[in-house]
Amino acid sequence: MKNITTYENQKVLVLGLAKSGFSAAKLLHHLGALVTVNDGKVFEENKDAQELLSEGIKVITGSHPLELLDEDFALIVKNPGIPYSHPFVQKALERNIPILTEVELAYEISEAPIIGITGTNGKTTTTTMIEHILNQSMTTGVARLAGNIGFPASTVAQEAGPNDELIMELSSFQLMGITTFHPEIAVITNIYEAHIDYHGSRKEYVKAKWHIQQNMSAADYLVVNWNQKELQTLAQQTKATVIPFSTESEVPGAYEKDGKLFFKDQFIMLAEELGVPGQHNIENALAAIAVASLKKVHPAIIKAALSQFTGVPHRTQYVGTVQDVRFFNDSKATNILATKMALGGFQHQNLILLAGGLDRGNTFDELIPALTDVKAILLFGQTKEKLADAAQKAGIPIIKFTENVETAVPLAFSISSPGDTILLSPANASWDQYPNFETRGDRFVQAMKQLK
């Protein structure tokens, strides 16, 4: 890592812990900052705060007292999950205290170049595809996953050398807190409406996503989804060199034509050779192909890597077969759009869908066209009645209620036939029954294994 002196003897507040805040606090302390940590969880239940205190870092827990801002902080490093509408953050903004997120620190210390990936859907899959391809081709150094994918960027950046690559998944929350952050390649997988409760409007959400390219120059590459008119328009407003990808037309980048995937007229592979199903994964693969090609990876290596790629945990992930019935874990589908995309990758006549979860007040009418011809649907959680209504309108012949994912799996298996697929793609957040989508997906996999 670069041993920068920017933060020496600077009073810095780390607001909110979790993985990124904990990592940022340790890094800033190492860089000589006078760090104070403020986290909402009470000290007795806060192992991260306890560890930081043992290392000599000032810790204030249990609430976010406004008087803390009287301590004349030079800047705040904010956990991405804390919205800018939070009273503490609002007061800090009124006092013109700079507010960063931890990915900015990662950029400042990183010796490795950064490939940044953002978008509404497909971020994690695309990020992992790129990492997988590059690690098949690199002879010195390694491609390292970082950011919103679960590995704090500031921790990974400390470990990375100049021959490595940081493959960084970036959320809109993280991108709002950057100033100098500068990837050499950036990817925008797509933009749909999301996180309006956090950003306040779609316009502000798109603005946050677009931050990824704000410091890029013509020497850098911006890989964008040319299927979306909005991104075509935005692409006219960047200094970066734009590399489009598309499943709908031939573009001067990565594209699909007649079931074949190309980069600038160089044939890469057949779409059917991808290791993960679904039209959305063809888009993800095209983005990854564009990045790998820009990094001079040989087409044969790209093809081999994407053929072997079987998905990331909880995202249309193949997890096993029991008596010729396949199981796919798409627990990360926490909204309707993600489930629609997953459903597009399967033959519906042999598909049993498991869905349901936290009720956020929406209906599921938007899902109805994607449910046509599905063999059966098993529903659980707060939204099961609403989903049953959508399933009835879609004409699904078998609609059953069950308690949770654990009970849904054996029930689905009992009505399945050889050649069927059982797909967990909930279209809802997990918090009515599970602490997170990962736990929900893990329970699905455990229940499948018990069938064996």
pLDDT of residue 170: 97
DSSP letter at 214 equals T
Architecture of domain 103-308: 3-Layer(aba) Sandwich (3.40)
Tokens coding 158: 């400390």
CATH says 11-100 is which class?
Answer: alpha beta
Record: fold of 317-451: Protein-Tyrosine Phosphatase; Chain A (3.90.190)
* 390, 394, 395, 400: CA torsion to nearest 10: -40
In sequence order, the 6+-apart residues with CB closer than 8 A to the CB of 96 are none
pLDDT of residue 229: 97
pLDDT of residue 333: 92
Q: Name the one residue in this structure whose structure tokens are 């827990």.
A: 61
pLDDT of residue 396: 98
State how far the Cα of 110 lies from the Cα of 230, in Å rounded to an integer: 32
pLDDT of residue 195: 83
Per-residue pLDDT of the chain (452 residues; tens, 9 = 90+): 998 999 999 999 999 999 999 999 999 999 999 999 999 999 999 999 999 999 999 999 999 999 999 999 999 999 998 999 999 999 999 999 999 999 999 999 999 999 999 999 899 999 999 999 999 999 999 999 999 988 999 999 999 999 999 999 999 999 999 999 999 999 999 998 888 888 989 999 999 999 999 999 999 999 999 999 999 999 999 999 999 999 999 999 999 999 999 999 999 999 999 998 888 899 999 999 999 999 999 999 999 999 999 888 898 888 999 999 999 999 999 999 889 989 988 999 999 999 999 998 999 999 999 999 999 999 999 999 999 999 999 999 999 999 999 999 999 999 999 999 999 999 999 999 999 999 999 999 999 999 98
pLDDT of residue 318: 86
Which residues are part of a known binding site? 119-125
pLDDT of residue 313: 85
Distances 262 to 91, 221, 222, 224, 385 between C-alpha atoms, Å:
51, 18, 18, 15, 44
pLDDT of residue 197: 84
H-run or E-run covering 423:
strand 421-424
How is the chain split into domains, by residue range? 11-100, 103-308, 317-451
Which residues are part of a known binding site for ATP? 119-125
pLDDT of residue 277: 85
